Chain A
Amino acid sequence: MKIHNDIQQQARHWLVVLHSGQASAQQWQQFKAWLQQDSRHQQSYRDAELLWRQSTYTETVAEQVATLPTSTPKRRQALWWLAACVALLALLLPFVPTPPEKQMFSTARGQIQTFRLEDGSSLTLGGDSMAEVSLSKHARQVVLKKGDGVFDVAPDPQRPFVVAVRHNQIRVLGTLFDVQQTGERVQVSVAHGRVEVSQNNQTQLLTDNQAVVLAPQGISAVTALGAGQFANWRQHRFNFEDSTLQDVISVINRYGKVNLKLSHPSLATQRLTAAFRLDQLEQMLDALQLSHNIHWHQDPQGVIWLSI
């Protein structure tokens, strides 16, 4: 969707005013009100601001870095303070109680965050996700209670790494893999390494670039992961194949700051195939109108309603 030229000019005007360093409190208030007035204002300003910030990361600016003074006295002072704080922390560290065995990690809606675990593994959680981690001498166990996670597992043959999600167990030795939950469906994709997935008495071994879907009725056939398809949610990219509209909007609602709702329950089971980036949501919704005759509008509270 093309943004109207006027709005783009208004956005640019705000950008110039706000970055001046002289904007008044009243102007900041007006800016906020302007953003809240219209989602197109938000989109347009976001584009303008992003572009302005990105202009910092260019060769033209880098050339000037070389000419800047490298270490001001003030900075050196700050470093000494930092060093003193680190030393103090090191002294206090033995008295800090050891952390409990179970650790909870969680993310808010729209948030993606990577957590480092004590064994050297890392865990990236998608929007509105939660994981309970317990590391012991003999085992490493993660319960993915909600949402999606990418696991980068440090090899340790003595301590298998097991991820439990719904009624499935995923057992690994050292690997990078992704678990995505959509409704009752759990998709496991492996970037590299070996992963054993099991549900009840059924097991399946996955290796590099393979994926399966775990549904209540069993484990799907193994599919090959296309190039650039692994854990795309980390870049706010989503692919859905023959998914229900309900599943699609529940994922969007977890990753975006928007709220999508269905105005009629019959829409929930509509099936669709779509690939999009979260910042192209409006284009995706426009396309939905063309392909499935599903209309959308945003109410004054910002909720996007889908209707037939």
Chain B
Amino acid sequence: MLRAKFGNGPPDPEDIAQQAFMRYAEAELAQPPDNPKAFVYTIARNLIIDAHRVQSRQEQLIDDIFAEVGMLPLNESSAESCLLEGERMQMVERAVASLPAKQQELIVASRLRGETYQQIAARTGYSLGDISRNIERAHTAIQTMLQAWEDGQQQSMVQQREYL
């Protein structure tokens, strides 16, 4: 399945599949996922994204500043976050899928290829202002959808307060 979709690699689809199963086994989930097959696929897919992703210098700088001001490090690492925050990641998934094609293209350019806005502008012909605006819109849309979902979760928080 991985090979059909992502080709022969690198990374080798067999290695990825094996790693994905290992992570799944190590996860000790509180309850088994509804669809283990889809779940392992997600882990594998995220490992492949990681293998192709170009980490930008900006990201490193942001991580450094987080450490300097004493903030907790971001633990966005692919496999982990999809294990711990299954439902949340599904919402992010849906939100990104519902964005206009142009905004999706910008996410791929910035997030996957690690391109600067200038590089994107040179390749696509979009203006810098246009790129900034669309990235801002994309982020707003995802965050708004996620917050609407989290507000739905608030009820469980209320329960927790009473418990406390």
Contacts and interface: CB of A to CB of B under 8 A. Distances in A.
Interface of B: 5-10, 28-31, 45-46, 48-49, 52-53, 56-59, 61-62, 65-66, 68-74, 76, 78, 81-82, 84, 89, 92-93, 95-97, 99, 104, 107-108, 110-112, 115-119, 128, 132, 135-136, 138-140, 142-143, 146, 157, 160-161, 163-164
A51 B52 contact: no
Q: Looking at chain A's contact residues, is the secondary structure mostly helix, strand, loop, or mixed?
A: helix
A274 B164 contact: yes
Interface string A1-41: 00000001000110111111111000010011001100000
Nearest to B162: A291
B76 A20 contact: no
B107 A291 contact: no
Given A12-B136, A28-B65, A56-B49, A291 B161 contact: yes
B58 A35 contact: no
A12 B62 CA distance: 14
Nearest to A13: B136
Given A51-B146, A70-B7, A61 B112 contact: yes
Interface string A265-306: 000000011111011000110011011000000000010000
A71 B76 CA distance: 26
A55 B62 contact: no
19 contacts: A12-B140, A12-B143, A18-B62, A19-B56, A22-B116, A28-B61, A46-B71, A50-B74, A55-B138, A58-B93, A58-B96, A59-B97, A65-B6, A65-B49, A70-B9, A176-B28, A274-B163, A275-B160, A275-B164
Contacts of B95: 55
A77 interface: no
Interface string A223-264: 000011010000100000000000000000000110000000
Contacts of B135: 16, 19
A54 B9 contact: no
B3 to A, nearest CB: 11
B43 to A, nearest CB: 10
Nearest to B108: A64
Interface residues of A, number: 65
Given A31-B65, A60-B104, A302-B70, A51 B56 contact: no
A246 B35 CA distance: 42
A208 interface: no
Top 9 nearest A-B pairs (CB, nearest first) are A21-B116, A228-B30, A53-B76, A56-B111, A20-B117, A58-B96, A287-B161, A287-B164, A64-B108
A49 interface: yes
Contact of A62 (B10, B48, B56, B81): B48
A57 B8 contact: no
B62 A49 contact: yes
Contacts of A18: 58, 61-62
Nearest to B65: A32
B92 A35 contact: no
Given A54-B81, A273-B164, A191 B8 contact: no
A95 B81 CA distance: 41
Interface string A157-190: 0000000000000000000100000000000000
Contacts of A8: 143
A66 interface: yes
